[in-house]
């Protein structure tokens, strides 16, 4: 089983091309704006989304991946812009091991940079026609819907698993799906292949977000390059929390609820240990794996090729990163 680093290294040329395209696409003669936009992009990131677009396009078209670089860059700009705004909302100080943009440059400037990246992204997407532009715009709309739905349920200890899944589908999975679908539409491939790639990416996105929520509890801040327990600190109710609340006795449920509400229990109640003890991490991991299985099933309808193997490896990496980053 490849690590993400090994998988990434096998695609290093494509990642370099994406990074070059990103730099070109954000250029502006307004030096301060360009510098702040570059700061955010140069923080790195795994480039999951542009690589998903590149591979999906190669499968769907058989053409040179460089034809789809503008779309790949566009989706990465939307992702980056949303992270800038998320960091402001969450009051996060670190992102990928560096100061977040709003800490370094101020909230007002960070908001403007996020808006600028959104604008540049839509211009890039428009180069592939109205249908691709609509897919991109719909994905961004769902991002906003998911963010608001999550915000409305902050601190809601009665949040259901169904509503949680709705939130992460809008915030993450539909965006992954839109990456693959946009690439498939740009490639003008047949309907079955388009659906297969889109279904794969949606389920990959669901698994990705569930594992992210697991890592927020069991992950290593040093390895991840960002703080852990952010969801708990900001009253976001995720799948491990839902399961733990549902499967706690009265005494421990009260202690957990108070911890989620910011009350300190000292050394008497260790959150990470408690989540492990209740089985909530195992339960959440099994759900992530079930989404990966659905993703792999969708890929079976696309035939066989080296590019399809790359997607299969990516799917496995999404859940294996728990071991890598914990």
Percentage of the chain with pLDDT > 90? Answer: 68
Dump the DSSP string for 39-102: HHHTT----HHHHHHHHHHHHHH-S-GGGGHHHHHHHHHHHHHHHHHHHHHHT--EETTEE-HH
Domain ranges of the chain: 4-325
- Number of other CB atoms surrounding residue 158 within 10 Å: 9
- Number of other CB atoms surrounding residue 195 within 10 Å: 16
- Token pair 């808006």 in the structure block, residue: 115
pLDDT digits over 84-124, tens only? 999 998 888 888 778 999 999 999 999 999 999 999 999 99
* pLDDT of 264 strictly over 80: no
Radius of gyration of the chain (CA): 20
pLDDT digits over 207-253, tens only? 999 999 999 998 877 666 666 787 888 788 999 999 999 998 888 88
pTM confidence score: 0.92
Please tell me the distance from the alpha carbon of residue 25 to that of residue 295, in angstroms, as a whole number.
32
pLDDT digits over 171-216, tens only? 999 999 999 999 999 999 999 999 999 999 999 999 999 999 999 9
CATH number of 4-325: 1.10.600.10
């Amino acid at each position: 089983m490849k690590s993400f680093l090994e998988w990434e290294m096998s695609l290093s040329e494509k990642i370099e091309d994406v990074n070059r395209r990103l730099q070109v696409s954000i250029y502006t003669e307004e030096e301060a704006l360009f510098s702040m936009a570059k700061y955010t992009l140069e923080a790195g990131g795994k480039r999951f989304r542009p690589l998903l677009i590149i591979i999906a396009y190669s499968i769907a078209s058989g053409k040179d991946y460089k034809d789809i670089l503008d779309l790949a860059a566009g989706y990465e700009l939307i992702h980056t812009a949303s992270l800038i705004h998320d960091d402001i909302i969450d009051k996060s100080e670190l992102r990928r091991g560096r100061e977040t943009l709003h800490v370094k440059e101020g909230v007002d400037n960070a908001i403007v940079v996020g808006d600028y990246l959104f604008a540049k992204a839509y211009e890039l997407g428009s180069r592939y026609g109205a249908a691709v532009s609509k897919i991109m715009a719909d994905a961004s709309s769902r991002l906003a819907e998911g963010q608001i739905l999550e915000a409305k349920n902050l601190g809601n200890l009665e949040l259901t698993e169904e509503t949680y899944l709705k939130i992460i589908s809008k915030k993450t999975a539909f965006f992954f799906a839109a990456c693959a679908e946009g690439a498939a539409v740009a490639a003008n491939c047949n309907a079955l292949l388009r659906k297969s790639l889109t279904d794969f990416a949606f389920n990959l996105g669901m698994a990705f977000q569930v594992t992210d929520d697991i890592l927020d509890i069991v992950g290593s801040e040093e390895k991840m390059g960002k703080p852990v327990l952010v969801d708990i600190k900001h009253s976001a109710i995720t799948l491990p929390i839902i399961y733990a609340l549902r499967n706690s006795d009265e005494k421990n449920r009260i202690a957990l609820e108070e911890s989620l509400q910011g009350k300190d229990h000292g050394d008497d109640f260790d959150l990470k240990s408690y989540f492990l003890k209740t089985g909530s991490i195992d339960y959440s991991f099994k759900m992530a794996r079930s989404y990966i299985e659905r993703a792999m099933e969708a890929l079976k309808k696309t035939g066989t090729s080296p590019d399809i193997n790359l997607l299969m490896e990516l799917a496995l990496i999404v859940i294996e990163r728990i071991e890598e980053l914990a």
